[in-house]
Structures are given as structure tokens and as C-alpha cells.
Amino acid sequence: MSSAAPGGAPEQGRSEFGVALFLAALGILVIVQALLLPESLIARGPVGPATIPLVVGGLLVVVAGFLAVDVWRGGRGEPEGGEDVELTGGSDWLTIAMLAAAFVANALLIEPLGWPVSGAVLFWGSAFALGSRHYVRDAVIAVVLSVGSWYLFVLGLNISLPVGVLEGIL
């Protein structure tokens, strides 16, 4: 039996079979790794550290099997019919490049300038890349978000983020 839906090309079902194969391989990997976990000395009863990974791995294999059978019988995924998504349009590479630049700037500036400054650059750059042109408002929001998230991590979660040039101020 052909893997294509009636009236479709034979190659049409290959990607769905690829997803099923990936899910099965991932499930088998999870099961094997769960079986290789060392026995816990503090675990009591039938539920040990491998129980949940074994269940998840088994469910992944079962879902992969159901997906493969569905695709073999001619089932196909339904294309997204997004309301505000232009499905015929291409990617906006300028926006992607600006977002990537904001993330790279954050990665390069976090050590010398600290999270409050590099985070503000990241948040403001992301807002600019996504089309906001309220520069001052976006800068204020970016500073509030970066300083607020710095305090959340440092005081709330007890995770140290570099403060950089604002050492002694924050």
C-alpha cells in the first residue's frame, strides 16, 4: 500500500513517518536510559527513580505506533489555518536577524556590563525588532523588566546574576 493519501504524491507521507520514527527512537532512548539508572538506596516500594521515565518512554513508543498506523492508512496533518498568519508569505529575515542581534548583544554584554544593562538591551532590542517604535516607553519598560528580573533572581531565587557596572547601586 502506498504511503500517500488518495490523490497525493507518494512523498507526501514521508515527513509524518519521520516524526513517528523520531518519537519511537526517543521513546526507546528514554526507556534504555531509565533501565540504566542505578538502584536507589533510599527508594522504598515499587516506585523507584526509573518508573516515570519508563512510563513516558512507553507512551512515546505507543504514540509513535498510532501515528505510523494513521499515516499508513492515509491520515494527514491539517495545515494551520491561522487567522492572522499569512501562510503564503515567506520569512521576515530582517526581524529574525534583529532578534538574533539582540540575543548576541545580551550574551556579549552580560559579563562586562551585568544583567540589568544587558537585559535591558535584550528587551528593548526585541521590542524594536518586533515592530514597536515607542523608543522611550520601550526603554523604560526594558529597564524595569531587567532590574526587576535581576532582583527576582538574586533575592527571590537566590541565584546570582552579574550586576556589572551597577555594582554598589543595586
Nearest Cα to 24, choosing from 59, 73, 70?
59
The type of residue at 30 is V
Task: Give ∠ CA 54-55-56 in degrees, rounded to 5.
Answer: 95
Helix axes 135-151, 115-129, angle to 10 degrees: 140
Helix/strand/coil for 60:
helix
Task: Give ∠ CA 113-116-121 in degrees, rounded to 5.
Answer: 80
Those residues with Cβ within 8 angstroms of residue 43's Cβ, 6 or more apart along the chain or in another chain: 49
Per-residue pLDDT of the chain (170 residues; tens, 9 = 90+): 444 444 445 555 678 889 999 999 999 999 999 999 887 766 666 677 788 899 999 999 999 999 999 988 887 777 666 666 666 777 889 999 999 999 999 999 999 999 999 999 999 999 999 999 999 999 999 999 999 999 999 998 888 999 999 888 87
